[in-house]
A and B are shown apart, each in its own frame.
Chain A
Amino acid sequence: EAGVTQSPRYAVLQEGQAVSFWCDPISGHDTLYWYQQPRDQGPQLLVYFRDEAVIDNSQLPSDRFSAVRPKGTNSTLKIQSAKQGDTATYLCASSLTGVGNTLYFGEGSRLIVV
């Protein structure tokens, strides 16, 4: 069974540039999460979807970050006008619906903003 796939693995941007990260979850997993993991910190939830619906995006900086999952499968996280504080690894995870279902993480997309 294929795991969670993310791309690109690395991105280096100048401040003000934009980037999109793509995630392909495990087949059949209806719940998809985007986490931001700054260096030496734990993952922090940005947004999560059940199928195509956003369940919680309260921690997504909505002025510059956006996330979609139009068909309830793949998802894209976009950062517009990147800032140095956005430097982090962006992790995608997927699971089946319900509390207590294991999250499976992708390898992450490492973003450096200079």
Chain B
Amino acid sequence: GEKVEQHQSTLSVREGDSAVINCTYTDTASSYFPWYKQEAGKSLHFVIDIRSNVDRKQSQRLTVLLDKKAKRFSLHITATQPEDSAIYFCAASNTNTGKLTFGDGTVLTVKP
């Protein structure tokens, strides 16, 4: 089955700097790649996604890049703010089953 790996378990940046979180996946049939944010003591909520028919998607301070050849995707956050501090989960969904597989999360800390 699909395996999604997040290569940084923690990431610390200064407020105003950029943060990049990287993920890889194994299943070439995966076609949909969402990102979810989990703030302390709360559940997951959707932040941004990318589909396999494009290689870049931007929404305000968030950009997702997808490299299908390398089976790699990344979340870029610019001008980080303290409220960006949270656990970020990447995920991949199989085209055929729709099953969403998550990585283990990256704890992002934005220091003032």
Q: Hey, which bits of chain A sit against chain B, CB under 8 A?
A: 31, 33, 35, 40-45, 48, 55-56, 91, 97-100, 102-108
Q: How does the 8 Å CB contact mask read for B9-30 relative to A, with 1 for contact and 0 for none?
A: 0000000000000000000000
Q: List 23 A-B contacts (CB under 8 A).
A: A41-B104, A42-B4, A42-B6, A42-B89, A42-B102, A42-B105, A43-B89, A44-B102, A45-B101, A56-B99, A91-B44, A99-B31, A99-B32, A99-B93, A100-B31, A100-B32, A102-B46, A103-B34, A104-B45, A104-B46, A105-B36, A105-B43, A108-B43
User: Which of A56, A102, A106 lies in contact with B43, CB distance below 8 A?
Assistant: A106
Given contact pairs A41-B105, A99-B31, A100-B49, A105 touches B44 in the complex (Cβ within 8 A)? yes
Which of chain A's residues has its CB closest to B30's CB?
A99
A43 to B93, CA, bound (A): 14
Q: Count residues on chain B whose CB falls below 8 Å from chain A CBs.
A: 26
Q: Identify whether the interface residues of B are mostly helix, strand, loop, or mixed.
A: strand
Q: How many pairs of A and B residues are in contact by the CB < 8 Å rule?
A: 59
Alpha-carbon gap, A41 to B107, bound state (A):
11
Q: Does B68 belong to the interface (CB within 8 Å)? A: no
Compute how far the CA of A99 lies from the CA of B101 in the bound complex, rounded to whole angstroms: 12
Assembled-state Cα–Cα distance A42/B107 (Å): 12
Of A42, A45, A105, most B-chain CB atoms within 10 Å: A42
| Interface of B toward A, CB cutoff 8 Å | 4, 6, 31-32, 34, 36, 42-46, 49, 51, 89, 93-95, 97-105
By beta carbon, the residue of chain B nearest A106 is B43
B100 contacts A103, CB within 8 Å?
yes
Would B42 and A107 count as touching, CB distance under 8 A?
Answer: yes
B92 shortest CB reach to chain A, Å: 11
- Chain A residue with Cβ nearest B89: A42
Q: Are A105 and B45 interface neighbours, CB within 8 A?
A: yes
Could you tell me the distance in whole angstroms from the C-beta of A42 to the nearest C-beta in chain B? 4
| Residues in A neighbouring B43, C-beta threshold 8 A | 91, 105-108
The interface residues of chain A lying within 8 Å CB-to-CB of B36 are: 103, 105
The answer for the CA separation of A44 and B93 in the assembled complex, in Å, is 13
